[in-house]
Amino acid sequence: MAKLKNIIKQLSEADYEKIYNSLMESSAEKSAYLLKAMREKHVSDNKIMDELDVNTNAYYTLRSRLNQKIEEYLLQQMENPRTDVLKKVANINEVVFTKKKAIAIATLKKLEKELLDYDLANELTVVYKTLKKLHVHSPEHFTYSQQYNQHVAYMLAVDKAEDLLVNYFRKYGEYTLTGGEIEKLELSLLSNEMGNVCRLYNSHRLYIYQSCLSVFHRLFVVRDENMEQDLEPIEDILDRMHAIFEMYHLDTIYYHLRLVYEYLRLEYYNYYKVYRKAENFFEEVNESAAHLMTNYSLFTYPAQFVLTKIERHLRMGDPERMYEENEVLFQDFEIDKEDVPKYITYITYRSISCYYAGKPEESARWINKLLNDISLKKYPYAQLEIKTLLALQYCLQSDYDLFNQLINSIQRQIRLLGKDTCDHVLLFTKIMKIAISESKRNKYDKIKQLAEKMNSMEPPYFAPTKYIRFDDVLLDKLAAL
């Protein structure tokens, strides 16, 4: 929220007036009042909520929409100069055919400078190709031929870097569900290949793309503290990313990648347990959670955020808040079922949110939807975990017929996969079987003992069962069945 207030206070008077008038003209009086209050008044959020007569959820929605309106306005202002440059590129042939040679060359040279400022490699190749032709009888023909060739090669390098980003995060999604060493090796090879491509050119764009990959890789795949000593510190990388975004503030790609930067900052501070600083970025990323999940799979693995969100709420002791927030955060969100790892992670997150809100029936509906929508045969360990989570919901509902059917399926799968590879699920099933057993003797103590043993385990693959907190509330519920 502090970020939104800072943006509003830093708006020029002209921009502020235009946004305010636009809100009033579109009958968004509450948004206009919120804009004015944040710019002119020094009052708390609670005070603003009282003055607007809205609850927390409505206020959350209101400020999210205001933030979106401001971003749209600023993006429109930012796109105008860039759009003008692209129009000039589109009109190059008109200049060549209608202007004198000296004027055409001068125009192209000016356009070259503008394109270099924006780092638009594709468009620069058009300029250099034309300059090369205009200098066909001049010694400078060779110079422009070289520049053309260099920028074609650079353009291909940028395309290669973008493809590597996409392939890396697609592969990472599969890795989260399997924890396989082969997938991990493939991720490391993709990371190394990205480094090789980016070393070919001293390019801030390639540096940003490499940073999106390398920071994530070092936080979630290769966690070797000894290796970190030989690499650029992650905090230095993030600082440099921020400096590049500030320097090229008119670049639309960088404008949108600021959300990825904030997300990486959040995960960096979480990794080193600097939770106070992590909170500075959590709220901004959280408000954009649906946007992150929908539009940023080409530059990061956004599904990881909802797992980070679960961990954060468990740490804060308020996991029940997730259910209420989801009604606002994911109100218009449509998950892409073709992106199977992201789909599995998101649906599981929604199920866990319902569980902590005391809604086991709704939690079970989310998981059954997942099992009906896609096949999990390719990911047997993830399938086992999800079935175990569903079994817990049936257990809490005392639906013993469905529970017994599912637990038999889980036990067959454990035998096929091997007890040693999924011993924590085996313990989880034992806990549930003790809970539904007719024997009341020492039930609470038996469940607690098994839960403590299970909590010490860390599965190497997607394991939603680890987000089930065996606190006194759950232990009492299970012991009372």
Measured distance CA(413)–CA(46) in Å, rounded: 52
Residue-level pLDDT at 417: 92
Asked if the model's pLDDT at residue 304 lies above 70, the reply is yes
Among 204, 211, 217, 207, smallest CA distance to 169 is for 217
Angle 303-316/275-287 helices, nearest 10 degrees?
Answer: 130
Among 3, 65, 80, 57, smallest CA distance to 31 is for 65
**106: how many CB neighbours lie within 10 A of its CB?**
13
| pLDDT cut 90: percent of the chain above it | 67
User: Where do runs of H (alpha helix) occur along 179-251?
Assistant: 181-198, 204-220, 225-228, 234-247
Going from N- to C-terminal start, the domains of the chain cover 2-158
Asked if the model's pLDDT at residue 398 lies above 80, the reply is yes
Measured distance CA(156)–CA(160) in Å, rounded: 6
> 């000016």: which residue's tokens?
110
Strand, coil or helix: 423: helix
The amino acid at 4: L
Mean pLDDT, the chain, whole residue set = 90
Residue-level pLDDT at 357: 96
Residues 6+ apart with CB under 8 A from 62: 30, 31, 34, 52, 54
Are 303 and 293 a contacting pair, CB within 8 Å?
yes
User: Where do runs of H (alpha helix) occur along 54-180?
Assistant: 56-90, 92-98, 101-118, 121-134, 140-178
**Minimum mean pLDDT range among 14-28, 65-79, 210-224, 441-455:** 65-79
Average pLDDT score over residue span 19-35: 87
- Which H or E run contains 391? helix 380-396
Are 365 and 343 a contacting pair, CB within 8 Å?
no
Average pLDDT score over residue span 403-415: 95
Task: Write out pLDDT tens, residues 164-179.
Answer: 999 999 999 999 999 9
106 token code pair: 């001068």
Measured distance CA(285)–CA(346) in Å, rounded: 16
Angle, alpha carbons 324-330-331 (nearest 5°): 90
Residue-level pLDDT at 198: 95
Residue-level pLDDT at 420: 87
Residue-level pLDDT at 431: 95
The amino acid at 155: M
Asked if the model's pLDDT at residue 2 lies above 60, the reply is no
Phi-psi region of 42 (alpha: psi -120 to 50; beta: other; left: phi over 0): beta
The amino acid at 106: A
Measured distance CA(120)–CA(127) in Å, rounded: 11
Strand, coil or helix: 223: coil
Query: How many angstroms separate the Cα of 176 from the Cα of each of 18, 25, 181, 187?
Result: 46, 48, 11, 11
Residue-level pLDDT at 208: 97
Task: Write out pLDDT tens, residues 200-240.
Answer: 999 999 999 999 999 999 999 987 666 677 789 999 999 99
Average pLDDT score over residue span 324-328: 90
Residue-level pLDDT at 70: 85
174 token code pair: 């599969």
Average pLDDT score over residue span 302-313: 97
| pLDDT cut 70: percent of the chain above it | 96
Residue-level pLDDT at 81: 61
pLDDT band at 42 (very low <50, low <70, confident <90, very high): low
> 């998981």: which residue's tokens?
367
248 token code pair: 């090229």
Average pLDDT score over residue span 184-195: 97
Measured distance CA(251)–CA(83) in Å, rounded: 11
Residue-level pLDDT at 83: 74
Task: Write out pLDDT tens, residues 251-268.
Answer: 889 989 999 999 999 999
Measured distance CA(386)–CA(43) in Å, rounded: 46
